[in-house]
Amino acid sequence: KDVQRLVHELQVHQIELEMQNDELRRTQLELEAARDRYMDLYDFSPVGHLTMDTHGTIVEANLRIGTMLGLPRKELIGQSVARFFASEDQDIVHRHYQEVLRTGTPQTCELHLRKNVGTYSCVFLKSHAVHDDTGHMTHWRTAFLDITERKVAEEELRKSEMRLQAILENSPGMVFLKDGEGHYLLVNRQFERAFHMSREQVVGKTDEDIFMPEQAAMFRANDLKVLQTGVALEFEEVSLHNDGPHTCLVSKFPLYVGYGKSAILCGIATDITQRKQMEESLRQSEERYRSIFENASEGIFQTTLDGKYVAVNPALARMYGYDSPDDMIATITDIASQLYVDPGRRDEFIRLMRSQEEVTGFEALVYRKDGSFIWISENVRPRCDQAGVLIGYEGTVENITERKLANERLRATLEEVRMLSGRLATAQEEERTRIARELHDELGVGLTCLKIDLSRLYAIESEGAGAGARRKVEDKIRAMIEQIDTTIASVQRLVTELRPAVLDDLGLVAAIEWQCQDFQKRTGIPCTCVTSADDIAMERERATAIFRICQEALTNTVRHAKATAVTIKLESRSESLRLVVADNGVGIPDTKVSNYQSLGLLGMRERVALFGGEITIEGNPGNGTTVTACLPRCLSSS
């Protein structure tokens, strides 16, 4: 029984041992699996790990540290860790490990790790000491984290912040940041200069603390629009500065600083006060220019190089007979062929513009819309773009048609004066010749006869005083008296032809009536005189002009008209005197009326023009000629 019990106990122990062995094998397997997992984590950790002995010799390394140092893990074992640090960082490494020993706690530092290929990386170290059961240090363990990319990013961030700070501080615009409640977080130097406040005086305050209530309310309302919509917006904001109100163009936009955090507001303000003033000045200047352009009395235009109008003012459109500037621009597409009567004038104009900086007083005959012609004078200069390239022409136009006609009239008048001067000299010479002949034939003969008669009387008186002698004396005396009467009549006739005494003694109406009777008596042509008053008071020179015009008209009738009747009408009006001389002759041809060599007609025109009057000469072939002269009067009729 004892043996059986012993066997049974042994069997039980055997079973227990087998169970324990199974448990140990299972535990071993779990430990091995855990070790493998640890080794995987150790080897494939993103952080490099080294274990060194007390002399700094590497005794253990993971795969990551081999990658960081550029060597296989096996080659790291047995090497001194100091050789992998940059020479300028050796003192940092020494102090790092001394600090670990002194404090007994893990310590950190940053330094440069030298790779096998000679390059460096920046690493973060965390080291601690490993002790045995007796408290004696046996190993160092150090973790290496590659922070090269972070350092590069930090350096780039630092440089970026420096650039941004330089931009902010030297920006001509005002830059500011505000939180969601409107408190200033940052302002730049220009903000300080503009409002004469330091950033210490601004940061932490709101617009209500700095600006007038109306301004602050406007600023806050604009801020809320940006924060509520979440988009960038632009505003024109007016703020009061020391030198008065300033207008700023402010661009405001939200900045999101992180998930779940409220956005802050950034603003960039540019002072546009001067620009606004310049815009207002420009607007006023443009209004003035537009007013001048629209209301100028002379034409103003701009054209392209190929002869199209770009702009014309209303005066030019009216001058050329168009309904509006738009009508003219749309209608005239080729100035050379559509505007100039002589297309060659456009070529001449272009030639002058190419040789001169500007062209003044360029005259041309142009078409109006209705096909009629006018004379114009242009003052033109080149029109260039901002780069100085010629793109067209611009200038002014003056209608000189009246001036041209006036010049033509002046030229004709000068020609008439020249002709009249020649005629006057000729007439004076002819009149002197006639008077000399009349004096010779009439007065000379009469006086000679008187001289002969006086000589005879002297001879008779010497012969004796008989009755026969007395009869001869009486006959001679009667003959002398008759000769004297004839001579006196000749002198009176000459005087009357030079200037009728009736014009001075009895006035214009009586003189015209006498002239009418004298004409009928001399020519035998019936002449009727009709006057509107018994007497018409006029200045002596004007009365003489009317008389001579009547005289010349009657003289032309005798010479050319072949008339059988003549009518003279003298009509007195309130401000003028009208003389009409009409005959029933052959009628004067139009060519004779306009002929400057017709000196009689020229003289009549000159007499009328001298007193600002008008004269018309109308011929109706076969029905006679009518001469109508109208002179302004200075004295009223009596």
- 598 and 542 share one domain: yes
pLDDT number for residue 585: 92
Res 437 pLDDT > 90: no
- 507 and 614 share one domain: yes
Indicate the range of 407-416, 436-445, 538-547 predicted with least confidence.
Answer: 436-445
Indicate the range of 113-122, 581-590, 606-615 predicted with least confidence.
Answer: 113-122
Asked which of 369, 399, 429 is the last residue of a domain, the reply is 399
In a domain, 450, yes or no: no
- 515 and 621 share one domain: yes
The tokens for 193 are 């200069």
pLDDT number for residue 635: 44
Instruction: Please indicate, yes or no, whether the overall pTM of this predicted structure exceeds 0.75.
Output: no
- 331 and 233 share one domain: no
Query: What's phi and psi for 112, nearest 5 deg?
Result: -100, 130
- 257 and 321 share one domain: no
The pLDDT tens digits for 587-631 are 998 888 777 667 678 778 888 888 889 999 999 888 899 999 999
Res 322 pLDDT > 90: yes
Q: Please give the average per-residue pLDDT across 301-329, as a whole number.
A: 93
Q: Give residue for tokens 């000379």.
A: 444
CA atoms within 13 A on the CB side of 327: 12
CA dist., res. 126 & res. 148, Å (int)? 16
CA dist., res. 203 & res. 181, Å (int)? 13
pLDDT number for residue 349: 92
What order do you get walking across the sheet with 137-146 strand by strand?
58-61, 48-53, 137-146, 120-131, 107-114
Give the pLDDT band (50/70/90) at residue 27: confident
Residue 512: which of 559, 564, 551 has the closest Cα?
551
Query: What is the tally of structural domains in the chain?
Result: 4
Whole-number CA gyration radius for the chain: 65
- 316 and 256 share one domain: no
Average pLDDT, the chain: 85
Higher-pLDDT residue of 493 and 136 is 136
- 247 and 304 share one domain: no
- 274 and 335 share one domain: no
Indicate the range of 328-337, 501-510, 624-633 predicted with least confidence.
Answer: 501-510
Is 472 in a helix, a strand, or coil?
A: helix
In a domain, 637, yes or no: no
In a domain, 597, yes or no: yes
Neighbours of 538 (CB within 10 A): 21
pLDDT number for residue 444: 61
pLDDT number for residue 1: 64
In this structure, what CATH number is given to the domain that contains residue 589?
3.30.565.10
- 128 and 102 share one domain: yes
Helix axis angle, 540-556 to 599-610, nearest 10°:
160
In a domain, 71, yes or no: yes
Asked which of 105, 120, 153 is the last residue of a domain, the reply is 153
- 205 and 261 share one domain: yes
Q: Please give the average per-residue pLDDT across 82-110, as a whole number.
A: 90
- 93 and 148 share one domain: yes
In a domain, 326, yes or no: yes
Secondary element (H or E) of residue 379: strand 373-384
What order do you get walking across the sheet with 624-632 strand by strand?
527-531, 566-572, 576-583, 624-632, 614-620
In a domain, 411, yes or no: no
CA atoms within 13 A on the CB side of 102: 7
Q: Are 549 and 576 spatial neighbours (Cβ–Cβ below 8 Å)?
A: no
Asked which of 367, 399, 431 is the last residue of a domain, the reply is 399
Indicate the range of 6-20, 245-259, 391-405, 452-466 predicted with least confidence.
Answer: 452-466
The pLDDT tens digits for 363-401 are 999 999 999 999 999 999 999 998 889 999 999 999 999
Res 637 pLDDT > 50: no
Question: DSSP string of 318-337?
Answer: HHTT-SSHHHHHHH-S-HHH
In a domain, 476, yes or no: no
> What whole-number percentage of the chain has pLDDT above 90?
39
CA dist., res. 300 & res. 315, Å (int)? 8
Res 134 pLDDT > 70: yes
- Give the strand pairing for 137-146 and 233-241: unpaired
In this structure, what CATH number is given to the domain that contains residue 79?
3.30.450.20
- 127 and 185 share one domain: no
Q: Please give the average per-residue pLDDT across 127-152, as a whole number.
A: 90
Residues paired with 177 in a beta bridge? 186, 266
Q: Indicate the burial class of 272 (C-beta count within 10 angstroms; 0-12, 13-18, 19 or more).
A: middle
Rounded to the nearest 5 degrees, what angle is found at the Cα of 196, between the Cα atoms of 193 and 200?
95
pLDDT number for residue 487: 73
In a domain, 539, yes or no: yes
CA dist., res. 321 & res. 373, Å (int)? 11
Higher-pLDDT residue of 247 and 454 is 247
Question: DSSP string of 528-574?
Answer: EEEESSS-----HHHHHHHHHHHHHHHHHIIIII--S-EEEEEEE-S
Indicate the range of 159-168, 212-221, 366-375, 422-431 predicted with least confidence.
Answer: 422-431
pLDDT number for residue 626: 94
pLDDT number for residue 426: 63
- 246: domain range? 171-278
